[in-house]
Amino acid sequence: MLESQRTDVEFVFADNSDDASIINDYMASISDPRVVFLPSTDKPLSMVDNWERMVAASSGEWVTVVGDDDYADPEIAGFLTRLQEFRPDVDGITWSILHYYWPSDERPTNVACVDFRDNVLSAPRDLLIARMFGWEDAGLVPTSGMSIYHSAMHRRLLDKIKATYGRQFEHPIVDYDSAIKNMIHGKTFFVVARPMTVMGSCPASNSYSIGRLEDMKKMVRLFNEDSGRDIDLDPEAAAFPFKFATGLTATIGQVLHWYRTKYKFSHGGWEKNFVEACQRNVESFRDREAFDLVKESYQRAVDSWQGGRFSKYFKPQYNDGSKGVSMTGFSDTAIYMDYDVPGMETAAGFYRLAGDLILPVDAIPIRASGMGELISTKSLKKKS
């Protein structure tokens, strides 16, 4: 990212490791006025506190957060400037994310997908809330976006959130904590189809545990250690049978339950969609023993919840994935390519290669009128 020649960007690097020597030596060699370096403290901070200090140390009009195995295009700054010329009231934008697996012995055989689309859509706040709290159009998790993680939020919105809650982040699942508060307190949001960041994944990444039982258990343990407590014992979590260790979908369900309970926020009609997402979470496990164990855990939660009213929607089917085929090539909207293509040894290298195949960020069309609107499949069903 530091190779960028833009002068209207700021890079806040926060070291939160238990061995500061490596990054300290590296940062000592950097003499870039755009860089703000936050060294590690006496002991590693919780993710909540580390993210809090990062945002507090930033001074830009817009803020985005990515992980140490991710990549963000500094040209996002230019796009935001152009977007504000048409919509000065914009509070936040999200975009498509490229997914990259760092080289390792455990690297999956998936192919990389690069989306060709570049349209800019208005994202109505009500729709974002329906996608988040109502689990509309969900996969394993809600598809609302608008977290400060791999999205960009305006400073006025961040200041409003801090004034309301006393800090930016509270819940250990910081990205969903952020997304919830952004859509509750923001008004104007946009979605960009063109990817502008890369989410990297390796065996040490949080996202790597999806569909892997032992990795999931390890991640739960690390999250609890990071938080300094068993999250399932929090007062807001006590009455919710879907526990942190049950699975990814249950974890996000618990974050939403925390916010609804703590801040008395109501959004009805979400239960069926949530249970169906839980089913998809179970079906993401390809190992039969893991599938059975996770299914049993979810089944207990579903059956004990609201008198088992939603048990009929929970019917996971095992699929070992053997019938799936990873293929490279083109579709109408994307290109699919192997991760072993030369030049893709890093997340930044992947982004540069992808960037040669799609429209440059500074050429993404922004129109004062005629900009489309994000809709849901629920809306499409109503029209048909």
pLDDT at position 337: 86
Percent of the chain past pLDDT 90, that is, above it, reads 66
User: What rounded mean pLDDT belongs to the chain?
Assistant: 88
Give residue 111's pLDDT band: very low, low, confident or very high (50, 70, 90): confident
Q: List every span in the chain annotated with CATH 3.90.550.
A: 48-206+328-374
Give pLDDT, residue 299.
Answer: 97
Question: Given the structure tokens 């996000």, which residue do they identify?
Answer: 252
Q: Do 118 and 193 touch, CB atoms closer than 8 A? A: yes
What tens digit of pLDDT does each residue of 280-299 get?
999 999 889 999 999 999 99
What CA–CA distance (Å, rounded) separates 177 from 95? 19
Which of 3.30.710, 3.90.550, 1.10.3470, 3.30.379 is the CATH number of 48-206+328-374? 3.90.550
Residue 20 confidence (pLDDT): 80
Res 368 pLDDT > 80: no
pLDDT surpassing 60 at residue 323? yes
Find out whether 143 and 137 touch, Cβ atoms under 8 Å: yes
Instruction: Specify the pLDDT at position 206.
Output: 53
CA distance linking residue 182 with residue 374, whole number of Å: 17
pLDDT beyond 60 at 209 = no
pLDDT value of position 380: 43
Q: What is the rounded distance in angstroms from the CA atom of residue 59 to the CA atom of residue 12?
A: 9
Task: Give the model's confidence band at 61: pLDDT under 50 very low, under 70 low, under 90 confident, else very high.
Answer: very high
Residue 70 has pLDDT above 90, yes or no: yes
Residue 253 tokens, joined: 């369900």
Instruction: Judge whether residue 4 has pLDDT over 80.
Output: yes
Distance CA 194, CA 120 (A): 8
- Determine phi and psi for 104, rounding to 5 degrees: -165, 165
Q: In whole angstroms, what is the distance from residue 167 CA to residue 227 CA?
A: 16
